[in-house]
Amino acid sequence: MNKFWIVLGHTYLSRLKSKTFLITTGIILLLIFALTNFQNVMDSFDDGESKAPKIAVVDEEGSFFKDLEEQVNAQQAELELESFQGEAEEAKQAVQDGEYQGVLMLQTSEGIPTGTYYTEQIAESSISGRLQQALQQVKVSVATEQAGIDQQTVNGIFAPVSFEKVALDKKAKTQEELSEARGLVYVMLFLLYIGVIMYGNMIAQEVAQEKSSRVMEILISSVSPVTQMFGKIIGIALLGITQFGLILLVGVQSVSRNMDQLEGGIFTYFGLGDANATTLVYAVIFFLLGYLLYATLAAMLGSLVSRTEDAQQVVTPMILLIVAAFMIAMYGLNAPETTLVTVTSFIPFFAPMLMFLRVGMLDVPLWEVGVSIGLLIGTILLLAVIGGRIYRGGVLMYGKGNVVKSFKRAFQLSKKES
């Protein structure tokens, strides 16, 4: 057991001190800090003057500018409209001189306003879109007035329809609960996806690197291959916990300090502030089981190659499994009750993502969760037994060969060793 801790400690510390780990972690932490403090950074460059784009409006009839300005203000759009009293060509020249962001020419067609927007580059669509939307409202107002329709009647027609969703199943989650669960599920899927790919590759490369440097021949004489395999798996797992722990610590601190600026939008939609305790427990369980499943598979595959360059190639099938699970999970976020999501949630290589998604989004019977977790644990144990044998023979293999032949050779070597 002492040798296991030596392998674990060596794997953890060597990777923890590596430049790649330190640089990658530092960049991620800086990105998190920058994103959560983006508004503060932007405000630091603000000199206190209005930064709203200035738009010149040439109103040929002289009757639509005020209505247009009211509609723009109703949108709370950061646009400053100015009635331009000169000729159209003068307004265009003022845009080219940098006095205005653009110029809007208002004409009429049978009493209905039309617009032409001139700007330096038409690739920027946010301003023109705001102006078009405001002008559309002016057109509706003018058209209904010409038709003799009361404005209140028009407002009633265009008012959003009242629509409410009510679940007949008393155990079904409410819309608020779904919103709260969606954020944690979404974050969990990304963490599992990124973590498995990143640390799975790291385990495979760790084994291949020791084989390429012939260090494995020294280790194999003093430490059993199975001890090495699980020492590396747990060591890389601790490395992942360290990295994600730092990321979560910085993320939580940054978010808590800028909560007022992050309220609304996607932050509120995902409900990241209110997570159910049961969902958090399942998140930890499925994350750990998912890591152990793919880490065992990665260590087994990494033992079949002799060069770090080949490690990426041999773990490609494993990565494709993760990508497939992730794509189904992204689809399942909006349709968690579909047959595809339900069936794949019982497949061990998909279960960490898909069953967790169902648990977070639906009211899943405990027996289904138990069956999925049982199948997942059984697959991990089976992979541990098979992986241990393949690892025992694979670490002694050198040279190139396809995966099928490498599996056979590894089994044969493991029988000789035992």
Asked, for residue 167, whether it belongs to a domain, the answer is no
pLDDT at 343: 93
Weakest-pLDDT range from 131-145, 148-162, 171-185, 342-356: 171-185
CA torsion through residues 189, 191, 197, 203, sign:
negative
Do 154 and 211 lie in one domain? The reply is no
Residue 291: the pLDDT is 85
Q: Which residue has the higher pLDDT, 267 or 393?
A: 393
Query: Is 185 found in the same domain as 96?
Result: no
Q: pLDDT higher for 305 or 204?
A: 204
| Whether 193 and 309 share a structural domain | yes
Of 29-33, 50-54, 67-71, 336-340, the range with the highest mean pLDDT is: 336-340
End-of-domain residue from the set 158, 187, 209: 158
pTM: 0.66
Query: Based on the domain organization, do 249 and 279 belong to the same domain?
Result: yes
- The larger pLDDT score, comparing residue 116 to residue 272, is at 116
The per-residue pLDDT for 115 is 87
Q: Which of 177-181, 285-289, 349-353 has the weakest average pLDDT?
A: 177-181
Residue 49 lies in a domain: no
Per the domain annotation, does 38 fall within a domain?
no
The neighbour count for residue 90, using CB atoms within 10 Å, is 13
Place 269 in a pLDDT band, splitting at 50, 70 and 90: very low
Q: Is residue 166 part of a domain?
A: no
Are 88 and 196 found together in one domain? no
Amino acid 110: pLDDT: 78
What residues have CB less than 8 Å from 400, skipping those under 6 apart? 306, 310
Based on the fold, state whether residues 208 and 318 are members of the same structural domain: yes
Residue 248 lies in a domain: yes
In 96-241 the beta strands, taken as DSSP E runs, fall at 102-109, 112-119
341 within some domain? yes
pLDDT value of residue 265: 43
Last residue in a domain, options 129, 158, 187: 158
The predicted model gives 238-265 an average pLDDT of 71
Instruction: Return contacts of 27-32, CB within 8 angstroms, 24+ apart.
Output: 28/247, 29/246, 29/247, 29/250, 32/247, 32/250, 32/251, 32/254
Please, which pLDDT band fits residue 373 given cuts at 50, 70 and 90?
very high
How many Cα atoms occupy the beta-carbon half-sphere of 281 within 13 Å?
Answer: 4
pLDDT exceeds cutoff 80 at 123: no
Residue 285 falls inside a structural domain = yes
pLDDT at 179: 64
pLDDT of 417 higher than 60: no
Instruction: For residues 367 and 233, state if they share a domain.
Output: yes
10 and 70 housed in the same domain: no
Residue 401's domain comprises 2-32+174-417
Domain CATH number, residue 91: 3.40.190.10
Distances (CA, A) of 206 to 1, 381, 383: 21, 22, 19
> What is the pLDDT at residue 346?
94
Task: Answer whether residue 196 is part of any domain.
Answer: yes
Q: Report whether pLDDT(147) > 90.
A: no
pLDDT tier at 348, thresholds 50, 70, 90: very high
Residue 234 shares a structural domain with residue 318: yes
Average pLDDT over residues 233-245: 84
Residues 154 and 179 in one domain: no
Q: Classify the phi-psi angles of 100: left when phi > 0, otherwise alpha if psi is within -120 to 50, otherwise beta.
A: beta
| 213 and 113 assigned to the same domain | no
Q: Does residue 101 surpass a pLDDT of 60?
A: yes
| 365 φ, ψ (degrees, to nearest 5) | -60, 145
Query: Domain tally for the chain?
Result: 2
Average pLDDT on 256-276 reads: 53
Whether 20 and 119 share a structural domain: no
Residue 131 pLDDT exceeds 90: no
Q: Which of 79-83, 206-210, 252-256, 373-377 has the highest mean pLDDT?
A: 373-377
Give me the mean pLDDT over the 224-237 stretch: 77
Q: Cα separation of 152 and 134, whole Å? A: 18
pLDDT greater than 60 at residue 171: yes
The rounded distance, in Å, linking the Cα atoms of 80 and 393 is 73
**Of 128, 158, 188, which residue is a domain's last?**
158
Average pLDDT, the chain: 77
